[in-house]
Amino acid sequence: MSNPFSLEGKVVAVIGAGGGIGEAVARMAAGQGAHVFCLDMVPQTASHTAERITKAGGGADAGVIDVTDGESVDATLKYVAGHGGRLDAVVCTPGVNVRKKMLDYTEEEFDKVLRVNLKGTFNTLRAAGRIMTAQGRGSIVIFSSIRSLVVEPGQSVYACTKAGIVQLVRGAAAEFGPSGVRVNAVGPGVVETPLTAPIKANPDWYNAYANKSILKRWATPDEMAGPTCFLISDAASYVTGTILFADGGWLANDGRFTPPGM
């Protein structure tokens, strides 16, 4: 039997490939045999990831994309599909967070978080969906979060976007599925990325998050790449419309206190 987890010969676009989780996904997908289009707002970071892949013997190209601009997303993914001959998978990782209590939030900050997290997801789903439904196959993976289910002070707006992403994924899965296109989300816990750098700089905050998970540590970006590559592989051919949590057991762990004698 062929390896259903292999990505050999697949054309994969990774949005946010310039760093963090996106870079890790791009590198792992290439390592599994995919030709990866490394897409990012910053051309230098996208090119750097593509260069790392090619130096390691993989296949990669680089390009610029702005998920908040629908025309940019449409044009870029059409280019990928044309240049690659098809578009087997799209992974979208970008997200922003403004950590503030609701009473301190400005409308501009609210708009910023929704524009990147929700509008960016919508633009990606629409552009990828148009291409993939026409070709009759494909897989899309969007990044949500544990914050789609649980929240804490200062995370209300971010959490609402991550919950909204899950519903956009489910809706897209329902609409694209009859054409052979799968759509799923990954829900990370706490991952060491540039987005979470302010937390890492505060030892008490960093350790509190580490101790909340069952594994008592933060994840690395590479640990998000595995679940993602599974979802875009043929091994997940009957998986769609769902969210795969990769949270170290955060959501399963009810509370931070272990009762005496346990």
Question: 2-6, 65-69, 84-88, 196-200: which has the minimum mean pLDDT?
Answer: 196-200
Q: Is the pLDDT of residue 255 over 80?
A: no
Q: If pLDDT is split at 50, 70 and 90, which confidence band does 68 have?
A: very high
Kindly report the CATH number that applies to the domain delimited by 11-191+221-244: 3.40.50.720
Find the catalytic residue in 79, 105, 158, 238: 158
Domain boundaries, the chain: 11-191+221-244
Q: Can you give the pTM of this predicted structure?
A: 0.95
Task: Supply the pLDDT for residue 257.
Answer: 55
What gap in Å lies between CA 54 and CA 121, rounded to an integer?
A: 28
Instruction: Give the mean model confidence (pLDDT) for residues 52-71.
Output: 98
DSSP characters over 47-69: HHHHHHHHHTT-EEEEEE--TT-
- Count helices and strands in the chain by DSSP H and E runs: 9, 7
- Are the CB atoms for 39 and 65 separated by under 8 Å? yes
Q: If pLDDT is split at 50, 70 and 90, which confidence band does 262 have?
A: very low
Element (H, E) at 91: strand 89-92
Q: Which residues pair with 14 in a beta bridge?
A: 38, 91
| Mean pLDDT estimate for the chain | 95
Q: If pLDDT is split at 50, 70 and 90, which confidence band does 2 have?
A: confident
**Between residues 161 and 261, which one has the greater pLDDT?**
161
- Are the CB atoms for 35 and 84 separated by under 8 Å? yes
Instruction: Give the mean model confidence (pLDDT) for residues 138-143.
Output: 98
Task: Supply the pLDDT for residue 1.
Answer: 57
Strand 89-92 with 138-143, pairing: parallel
Instruction: Give the mean model confidence (pLDDT) for residues 228-244.
Output: 98
Q: Is the pLDDT of residue 254 over 90?
A: no
Is 158 one of the catalytic residues?
Answer: yes
- Are the CB atoms for 168 and 175 separated by under 8 Å? no
What gap in Å lies between CA 209 and CA 190, rounded to an integer?
A: 7
- Percent share of the chain, pLDDT over 70: 97
